[in-house]
Each structure stands twice: as structure tokens, then as C-alpha cells.
């Protein structure tokens, strides 16, 4: 059995013994995950066992190699993949800009999406591509490509991005944007990302159809990936998005369940997309179930932390920074983490939460109460807790620039001011 990439390193010296054989890059894990149906059960088991053994040996060799790398001369380092420059590896993760690192992968993101939205109806194309103007943060695609590259490096010692993983980053951005187009209809929002919203410019009916169209084109790209497991993961994201938005529409009557309802809603509305698309990148890269779960948990915790900070900023950031009025959530009748924490100190908030702050003066009173309570501090602490969980999940990954960038993403989420 001619296996595989690990023959490239000597486990004794850590020297690179040969070049990569790219054709093995995809075929090896694919064979590992899907042993041939033509082989007997015994042969399949033997194959799986052998592959695991080779993988283990490879990993040991890689660990000793990376330890050696710290002491070796630059000549032995020139074999590391191009973006994995030693200088960058020595950089602390907070100095790394994850958005810069992911830029080469995403430079054509919006142009690629606009191509997918091409249609004979100029008008539909114009509306559906309106938000793909290159001004978005592309936070979700950044997470997907960094996770994909970090995992590929961990498994294959090659951080090369697979085309399917690149497509996953596109799908993530399209689903996210489609949900925002619909969200602005629900929230009757006039602005998005500092410009007029689709619903304001073209009306509700066309906005809903444009969101549907983006979603349909994302589904087409997903189908082209031809991976049933990934289709299941992304279908779950769509279910969660709708359920999350629906959960947000009602205040939980039972006070004892209010916080868990809020966290469940937060996962479905925000973290499901980051969790499942990170996991999909892992599945597409041939990662085993432990690594898939790691990717999912990273995306889940970062997504929840992101939303908690979003809910906190709603109280403290100015309209200019956020591009929407301060306390917009209260005005929409939403009780987010800061209010739920504050209601422990100020019980008078509880009936307001139930009536969704609809009485005259409710919004102002609730806003004051939150600022006077420790609701904001507790929200930040909870975000920190999820950030730490995300950090601990990715700690199992082999050290790489992309892994450090994933760590840096977490800090950026906590530090952001808009
Ligand atoms: C932003 O919420 C909205 C979401 C993250 C998801 C919205 C989901 C739907 C409308 C369900 C439909 C789903 C699909 C896939 C079309 P926000 O109002 O808290 O944030 P904002 O301040 O950015 O508007
Ligand atoms: Mg909204």
C-alpha cells in the first residue's frame, strides 16, 4: 500500500525526504473514509487499521519535525508550504490579522457570488447582488477558509485550500446575506451596512424574492459539491435560522426558562451557520469525527460569543458605529442577555420583558436599568467563557499560521466595537 504524505519526513532527523504528491492529498482520506465496497470486511478493517497506524506515525514525525523546526536553519524551513512562513509562525496570535491572512482566498469572493447571481432578469440580478459590494466583513467566509486550511495542515501537512472548501465559504456568505435581506423585512429596517436596505429601495415583496433567489443559488452550489453529509449540515442551518428567528418573536412566559431559551435562540439564529459551515469544511477535507466535532464546537462558541457582543454593543455603541439606533433590540421588543441579567437586580424589568417593552417609556426605563446594573459585565463574561471554550477546542490542532489566526478571530470578536 503506497501511503502517503508522511513518507516525506524522516522521524529521526525531521528532514524533508521528498516532495508532496498532490494526487494523494484528496484520494488518501477519501479512501480512508469510504473503504472500497469491493473489498471484504476484513480487508476494509485492515485498511482502516493500517491507515490509522500510518496517520499516527505521521503525526509523531510531524510533531518531532515541528519541534526541530524551532532550532533548525532556514534551509530546512524552505520546505514548509508557502504561506506558512517561519516569521508568521513566530508571530503571537493577537498580532495576526485573520482577515489579511484569508484575503488571498477571498479576494474574488464577491465577484464569484455576483457571477452566481447572474440571471437574464437584470432587475433581479441588481437587487440580489446589491449587498455583495465588497464592503461586508466576510466574517463567516474568513472562519471557513481559516478552519479549512488549519485542518488541512493538521491532517496532511499541507494548508492548501480545496476548491470545495472555497465553495463552502461562498455558500456561508450567501446564506448569511439572504437571511439579512429577509431579516430587514421582518425588522422593517431601513438601513444595512451603512446604506439603504433592499426593502427600503425595492419594497418588501422584491426583497423577499431576492433573499429567496440568493438562497436558491446557494443551494445550487451546495448540490454541485455532491456531498450528501454536507447537504444535511447546511439544511440544518436553514432550519435553525428560521426557528431561531421565530423563537425571537415570542417572549418566554416561564421566567426560569428565559435564559436557556435566549441561548438556544442565539445558537440557531447566529451560531448554527458558523458551527455547521466550519464542520462542513472539515468534512470536505476528509477530517475524522473528532476533528469535525472540534470544528463544529469552535464555530458554535465563536458564533455565540459574537452574538453576545452584538447584544452588548446594542447598548453601548453609538448609532454611527453600529449603523442602527442604540437600543434597537429593546425597540424591537427583544430581551437579550444584558436585560436578562439586569432583571435579576431590577425585577421591575420582568413585566416589561413579557410585554416586549411596548408601553410608553418601557424602552427608556429598561435601557437605564441595564446601564445601572451589572448586565453588561455579565454579558461580556459569558462571551469570554464561550471564547475560552472555542480556544480550548482548537488547541488540539497542529500549530500553523491559520490556527493562530483562528485564535485571533476569537479575540477580534471580543474586542470589536461595531
Ligand atoms: C440578523 O438579526 C438576522 C439573522 C442572523 C438571521 C435571520 C433569519 C431569518 C430572517 C430567517 C430566514 C432565513 C433564511 C435562510 C432566508 P438581527 O436583527 O439581530 O441583526 P441586525 O441588527 O444585523 O439586523
Ligand atoms: Mg435585524
Give 321 or 225, the one with higher predicted confidence: 225
| Ligand 1 atom with least separation from CA of 186 | 10
Task: Give 192 Cα–ligand 2 centroid separation in angstroms.
Answer: 9
Instruction: Kindly indicate the confidence band of residue 323, based on its pLDDT and cuts at 50, 70 and 90.
Output: low
pLDDT at 205: 98
Task: Give 326 Cα–ligand 1 centroid separation in angstroms.
Answer: 18
The 10 Å Cβ neighbour count of residue 65 is 23
Q: Whose CA is nearest to atom 16 of ligand 1?
A: 179
**DSSP per position, 394-410:** HTTSPP-HHHHHHHHHH
Contacts of 169 (CB under 8 A, 6+ apart): 105, 106, 109, 140, 141, 142, 144, 145, 148, 277, 281
Q: How far apart are CA 63 and CA 301, in angstroms?
A: 27
pTM given for the model? 0.80
Query: Which ligand has the shortest distance to the CA of 140?
Result: 1
The 10 Å Cβ neighbour count of residue 290 is 10
Render pLDDT for 150-196 as a digit per residue (tens, 0 to 9). Answer: 999 999 999 999 999 999 999 999 999 999 999 999 999 999 988 99
Task: Give 131 Cα–ligand 1 centroid separation in angstroms.
Answer: 14
Q: How far apart are CA 204 and CA 211, in angstroms?
A: 11
Contacts of 89 (CB under 8 A, 6+ apart): 399, 400, 401, 404
| Ligand 1 atom with least separation from CA of 334 | 19
Render pLDDT for 122-139 as a digit per residue (tens, 0 to 9). Answer: 999 999 999 999 988 899
Q: Whose CA is nearest to atom 9 of ligand 1?
A: 179
Render pLDDT for 261-282 as a digit per residue (tens, 0 to 9). Answer: 999 999 999 999 999 999 999 9
Residue from 183, 240, 249 whose mutation best tests the ligand 1 pocket (most atoms within 8 A of CB) = 183
Q: How far apart are CA 151 and CA 381, in angstroms?
A: 29
Q: Whose CA is nearest to atom 10 of ligand 1?
A: 183
pLDDT at 317: 81
Query: Which ligand has the shortest distance to the CA of 269?
Result: 1
Render pLDDT for 57-104 as a digit per residue (tens, 0 to 9). Answer: 344 334 333 332 222 222 222 223 334 443 455 566 767 899 999 999
Contacts of 87 (CB under 8 A, 6+ apart): none
Question: What backbone phi and psi angles, to 5 degrees, belong to 191?
Answer: -130, 155
Residues having CB within 6 Å of any atom of ligand 1: 175, 178-180, 182-183, 186-187, 189, 211, 215, 238, 241-242, 245, 269-270, 324
pLDDT at 396: 98
Task: Give 355 Cα–ligand 1 centroid separation in angstroms.
Answer: 22
Task: Give 326 Cα–ligand 2 centroid separation in angstroms.
Answer: 13
| Ligand 1 atom with least separation from CA of 184 | 24
Amino acid at each position: 500500500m503506497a501511503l502517503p504524505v508522511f513518507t516525506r519526513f524522516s522521524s529521526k532527523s525531521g528532514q524533508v525526504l521528498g516532495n508532496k504528491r498532490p494526487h494523494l492529498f484528496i484520494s488518501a482520506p477519501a479512501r480512508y473514509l469510504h473503504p472500497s465496497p469491493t473489498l471484504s470486511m476484513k480487508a476494509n478493517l485492515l485498511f482502516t487499521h493500517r491507515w490509522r497506524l500510518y496517520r499516527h506515525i505521521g503525526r509523531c514525525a510531524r510533531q518531532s519535525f515541528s519541534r526541530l523546526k524551532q532550532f533548525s536553519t532556514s534551509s530546512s524551513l524552505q520546505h514548509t508550504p508557502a504561506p506558512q512562513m517561519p516569521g508568521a509562525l513566530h508571530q503571537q496570535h493577537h498580532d495576526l490579522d485573520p482577515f489579511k491572512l484569508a484575503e488571498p482566498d477571498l479576494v474574488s469572493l464577491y465577484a464569484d457570488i455576483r457571477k452566481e447571481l447572474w440571471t437574464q432578469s437584470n432587475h433581479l440580478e441588481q437587487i440580489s447582488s446589491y449587498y455583495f459590494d465588497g464592503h461586508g466583513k466576510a466574517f463567516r467566509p474568513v472562519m471557513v477558509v481559516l478552519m479549512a486550511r488549519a485542518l488541512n495542515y493538521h491532517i496532511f501537512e499541507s494548508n492548501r485550500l480545496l476548491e470545495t472548501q472555497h465553495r463552502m465559504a461562498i455558500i456561508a456568505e450567501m446564506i448569511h446575506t439572504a437571511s439579512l435581506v429577509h431579516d430587514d423585512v421582518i425588522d422593517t429596517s431601513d438601513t444595512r451596512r451603512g446604506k439603504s436596505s433592499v426593502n427600503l429601495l425595492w419594497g418588501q415583496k422584491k426583497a423577499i424574492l431576492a433573499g429567496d433567489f440568493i438562497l436558491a443559488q446557494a443551494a445550487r452550489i451546495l448540490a454541485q459539491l455532491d456531498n450528501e453529509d454536507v447537504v444535511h449540515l447546511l439544511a440544518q442551518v436553514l432550519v435553525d435560522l428560521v426557528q431561531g428567528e421565530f423563537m425571537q418573536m415570542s417572549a418566554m412566559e416561564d421566567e426560569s426558562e428565559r435564559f436557556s431559551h435566549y441561548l438556544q435562540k442565539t445558537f440557531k439564529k447566529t451560531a448554527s451557520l458558523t458551527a455547521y459551515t466550519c464542520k462542513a469544511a472539515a468534512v470536505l477535507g476528509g477530517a475524522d469525527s473528532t476533528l469535525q466535532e472540534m470544528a463544529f464546537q469552535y464555530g458554535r462558541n465563536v458564533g455565540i460569543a459574537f452574538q453576545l457582543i452584538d447584544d452588548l454593543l446594542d447598548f453601548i455603541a453609538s448609532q454611527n458605529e453600529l449603523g442602527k439606533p442604540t437600543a434597537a433590540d429593546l425597540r424591537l421588543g427583544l430581551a437579550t442577555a444584558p436585560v436578562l441579567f439586569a432583571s435579576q437586580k431590577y425585577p421591575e424589568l420582568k413585566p416589561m420583558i413579557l410585554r416586549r417593552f411596548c408601553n410608553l417609556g418601557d424602552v427608556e426605563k429598561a435601557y437605564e436599568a441595564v446601564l445601572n446594573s451589572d448586565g453588561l459585565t455579565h454579558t461580556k463574561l459569558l462571551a469570554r467563557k464561550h471564547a475560552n471554550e472555542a480556544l480550548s477546542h482548537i488547541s488540539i490542532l497542529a500549530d500553523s499560521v491559520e490556527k493562530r489566526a483562528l485564535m485571533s478571530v476569537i479575540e477580534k470578536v471580543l474586542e470589536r466595537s461595531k
